[in-house]
A and B are shown apart, each in its own frame.
Chain A
Amino acid sequence: MREHDLDLYRRIEAQDENALELLYDRYEKLLFSFAFRMTNNKFLSEEVVQEVFTKLWTKKGMYDESKGKFSSWLLTITRNTSIDLLRKKKETPYELEERDALLDERPSTEEVVEWKESSERICTAVKELTSEQQEIIELFYFKGMSQSKIATTCNIPLGTVKGRVRLALKHLREKLSNVQERGVRE
């Protein structure tokens, strides 16, 4: 039976290395993929994952149930860490390429968060948005740009950025529920 994230987190707070490994195996791929989506750099993505787990391990009391679902919270931390590292590392455009191509051998017994289906579903919904809306979500959410940077990049008035971001996200939410109703073909 799958041990709850929250239980694992509590054990991590109590410096249980085994729990750290279990949570790591569960989330490594999701966090790494998300960090790569944000940074487009495998080296930085590994650093992001490492920093997220370092925070979990060294700072007690970061998470409690008032902060929402553990996985959502963990992804928020991952996103903030990605934005932060991107800001710090603007001067290192290097990408590790072929060295990363080899796969790792890893324990496959413990369950891993899988999200391939939701990935397809969300991508389908995103593609149904106008290109302006797709762009503003990209710049706001995945690039983590400031409002003024978004305004300059899209050549729109600063005062309209917030409204456009909200509208784009709301449209995405609608499309998403439509896609869900239609169902996804494998």
Chain B
Amino acid sequence: MTKNSCDVLLDYFNDQLTCEERKEFEAHLQICKDCQDELKELQELTADLPYSSEPIEPSAGMRERVLSNVLQAENSDMAMEGTEAEKNKTSNERVTEIIPGKKVNKWYKPLVAAVLVLSLIGNGAAIIYINQDEDVADSGSETIRDTIQRMEELQPSEGVSAQATAMMIEQNKNTNLVVQASDLPPLEGEETYQVWVVEDGKPYRAGTFVPNNNGLGAVSYVINYEGNHKWDTIAITKEPTANSKTPQGNILLSSPL
């Protein structure tokens, strides 16, 4: 024991100790009356402080998201293992530069757009198991039997001037999502643009990319999530790193599917 154990009481209270230090202190706490009293006093003196928080309204849709995620939490142990695979996957995705395609039919529905904005909020600690073993880069060799299922022009959010087109191409029973975008605001540091497909308010990763100096960017992604999915929305957000499991940034572009 290097320093006087009583000295770390505050750090114990603030959960700032390493696991080892914490165990050490807890052992000390058992036998030190002073620390027991001080800790109790600290708890009493701070008990009112949470109530000084200004009341704010919870985010829209939060109740449903949180409760459904909590109820699903029992199955989350297995899902956790997907995280590493997902990170590795991200680094395999290619960033390509494509000339923006010509405009396709508009699907703009302001109300729907408002709803999907809500649907992408937060999602808390939603854990998504990624079953992604396709090599995206290989998909180009399958051109002959590919059929375009649909093509959507994404709508920019207010104040955003970027444009993007999404194509869903059927490929060996999988759906290959090709997104190309232009006029994208430049990124900083580790930021990336992330494509999401959304089902019932739950976003799934669908490609990560960074634009070139001219603001052009594109990504091809094989959507291969286990189970049946009916995607209702596609959206692009700006993310702080390439590893976001759920959207952290604002939606730049989106379209109902």
A binding-site residues for B, Cβ under 8 Å: 17, 20-21, 24-25, 28-30, 32-34, 36-37, 42-43, 46-47, 49-51, 53-54, 57-58, 68, 72, 75-76, 78-80, 83-84, 91-94, 96-97, 99-100, 102-104, 106, 114-116, 118-119, 122-123, 126, 137, 140-142, 144-147, 161-162, 165-166, 169-170, 172-173, 176
Contact = CB atoms under 8 A, between A and B. Distances in A.
B239 to A, nearest CB: 8
Interface stretch (B44-52, B97-105, B223-231): B44-52
Nearest to A106: B63
B60 interface: yes
The 8 closest A-B pairs by CB, nearest first: A37-B53, A122-B52, A50-B124, A169-B45, A146-B16, A118-B51, A75-B50, A33-B53
A32 B14 contact: no
- Taking each of A29, A50, A165, which has the highest tally of chain B beta carbons within 10 Å of its own beta carbon? A50
A122 B49 CA distance: 7
Contact of B51 (A103, A115, A142, A161): A115
Nearest to B8: A147
Interface residues of B, number: 53
Interface string B77-91: 000000000000000
A17 B71 contact: yes
Contact of A50 (B48, B60, B69): B69
A19 to B, nearest CB: 12
Given A46-B122, A54-B70, A58-B74, A28 B58 contact: yes
Interface in B104-137: 117-118, 120-122, 124-125
A104 B45 CA distance: 34
Interface of B: 7-11, 14-16, 38, 41-43, 45-63, 65-67, 69-71, 73-74, 117-118, 120-122, 124-125, 240-241, 244, 248-251
27 contacts: A30-B53, A32-B56, A34-B53, A37-B50, A37-B54, A43-B248, A46-B58, A50-B65, A54-B73, A75-B47, A84-B15, A92-B248, A94-B248, A99-B60, A104-B59, A116-B55, A118-B52, A119-B51, A122-B48, A140-B10, A140-B14, A144-B14, A146-B14, A147-B16, A161-B10, A162-B9, A176-B48
Contact of B67 (A20, A99, A166): A20
Given A28-B58, A46-B58, A96-B59, A21 B10 contact: no
Nearest to B190: A91
Given A50-B70, A122-B49, A141-B46, A99 B118 contact: yes
Contacts of A161: 10
Given A68-B43, A91-B240, A34 B50 contact: yes
Given A58-B73, A94-B249, A140-B14, A103 B60 contact: yes
